[in-house]
Amino acid sequence: RYKDFNVNGIWPEAITLPCRPNLLPSEVDQIISAVKAFQPKTARPVQKNLHDDSGFIFQTKKSNGDCRWITNVCKCPKCYGPLAIDSLHGFPVCTKCSKSFDVRHEIPLMVNDVSSHLTYIGNLAIQNPSWYKSNQTDYYDGGPYRVHLNRRRLYVESKIKEIRSQSKIRRFIDLGCGDGQNLRWIIPALSGNIVEVYASDYNIERILKAKNMIGSSVNIFLSTFDEPCFLDNTFDLIFMNHVLEHIKEDTKALSTVYRMLSPNGYVILGVPNEGSFWWQLAYKLEPETLAKTDHVQFYTGSSLKKKCEDTGFEVLEIKYMGYGLPHWSADYLFKSVEGADDIMEQIGNKFFEDQASSMYFILRKS
């Protein structure tokens, strides 16, 4: 049936093959192999449909979006060669090893093997669907932690304005942008001068939601710290909010952030303070919570400060915020009470500052 798509010798730009959802990996491989056997020479490799689980989509002609901007901030994650835009297909292509990278919904997918990466993310989503697929807007705007999240927002906004008053910000990136919730207020905070705004995440489900919400005002691409594609000395301000605790090789990730930061550039790094006694106690009381968070690193202010300094960063400030009960379920119910979060903030700041739930590091590349 694939040959029926060839109308008067002209191949369509993309073809979607419907199939039932939740296919096994072996079934996915069979479908991809079968379709590849009938592809014309100009067709792109088959990929899992990035929009939903209804089928497979593969490109035969052109990229579905202008992504020339990717050459300004990224390099080939395979050989680290420079990127160019293929004049025929419109896809990023490495000028050194000739590897090309797919673009879906105007989102460049800057990984070496898209199919393997999407299968990996899909398996994680099956194991922990609430973490990988849940709507983050509900959590940010309507959950019991909205007061704490708003306090974090106000702090980061103030730091962005402070940094902008001291240094020119030409390029900004939200590393680990998720659904793009923070970009909703970061973009206005960056307004005033011309700033190139970028965002990246490894979860295709999340960045598709971010793209739909933010639109073309932000250049969004898929990337991972396992296959870093960022150009050196490129970004003047990097925002990395509650991302590092999910990365096993966190020192390698910090080195990548240091490398991609421009000289005298700044990083606003937010992480949980879950290495502290208070929140280690919470995990001991409810160990099943750990499986839901996907956290693999448990920092204290002193432990992360040392890692940042060992990487080469100058630590300008550590800000603790967010206090609660050392029992996750009880804390959730307690924070649902109006005013409870503000009361805990006052008590925590006065008596046990280093037992906060969150902390922010302001870093500079000297």
User: For the residues 106-122, what does the mean pLDDT come to?
Assistant: 90
For residue 31, the one-letter residue type is I
d(CA 318, CA 311): 17
Pairing of strands 14-18, 55-59: antiparallel
**In 3-state terms, the chain is what percent helix, strand and coil (to 5)?**
40, 20, 35
- What pLDDT sits at residue 60? 41
3-class DSSP assignment, residue 235: strand
Q: Which two tokens stand for residue 188?
A: 């206005």
Phi, psi of 140 (to 5 degrees): -75, -40
d(CA 230, CA 238): 12
d(CA 83, CA 78): 11
Single out the residue of 351, 331, 356, 347 nearest to residue 145, CA to CA: 331
The whole-model pTM stands at: 0.82
Q: Which of these ranges, 54-68, 252-266, 302-316, 332-346, has the smallest mean pLDDT?
A: 54-68
Q: Which of these ranges, 116-120, 259-263, 329-333, has the smallest mean pLDDT?
A: 116-120
User: For the residues 36-40, what does the mean pLDDT come to?
Assistant: 56
d(CA 260, CA 239): 12
Q: Which of these ranges, 3-17, 168-182, 228-242, 276-290, has the smallest mean pLDDT?
A: 3-17
Decide if 95 contacts 102 (C-beta within 8 A).
no
Residue 88 vs residues 5, 42, 343: alpha-carbon distances, Å: 20, 10, 61
Q: Is the pLDDT of residue 275 over 90?
A: yes
d(CA 89, CA 86): 6
3-class DSSP assignment, residue 173: strand
pLDDT-derived band at 53 (thresholds 50, 70, 90) equals very low
Single out the residue of 236, 241, 253, 181 nearest to residue 212, CA to CA: 181
- What pLDDT sits at residue 62? 45
User: For the residues 1-26, what does the mean pLDDT come to?
Assistant: 52
Task: Classify residue 75 by its DSSP letter.
Answer: B
- What pLDDT sits at residue 193? 67
Query: Facing residues of 108 across strands?
Result: 103
pLDDT tens digits, one per residue of 77-86? 999 999 999 8
pLDDT tens digits, one per residue of 277-315? 999 999 999 998 887 888 999 999 999 999 999 999 999
Q: Is the pLDDT of residue 318 over 60?
A: yes
Q: At what angle do helices 301-311 and 250-260 cross, to 10 degrees?
A: 50
Q: Which of these ranges, 56-70, 219-233, 282-296, has the smallest mean pLDDT?
A: 56-70
Phi, psi of 161 (to 5 degrees): -65, -40
Q: Which of these ranges, 72-76, 128-132, 249-253, 293-297, has the smallest mean pLDDT?
A: 128-132
Residue 135 vs residues 205, 206, 294: alpha-carbon distances, Å: 11, 9, 16
Residue 153 vs residues 13, 28, 183, 356: alpha-carbon distances, Å: 42, 42, 11, 16
Query: Facing residues of 104 across strands?
Result: 107
Please name the residues in contact with 64: beta carbons below 8 A apart, sequence gap of 6 or more: 13, 14, 103, 104, 105, 106
- What pLDDT sits at residue 315? 98
Q: Is the pLDDT of residue 48 over 50?
A: no
d(CA 187, CA 183): 6
Q: How many CB atoms lie within 10 A of CB 181?
A: 23
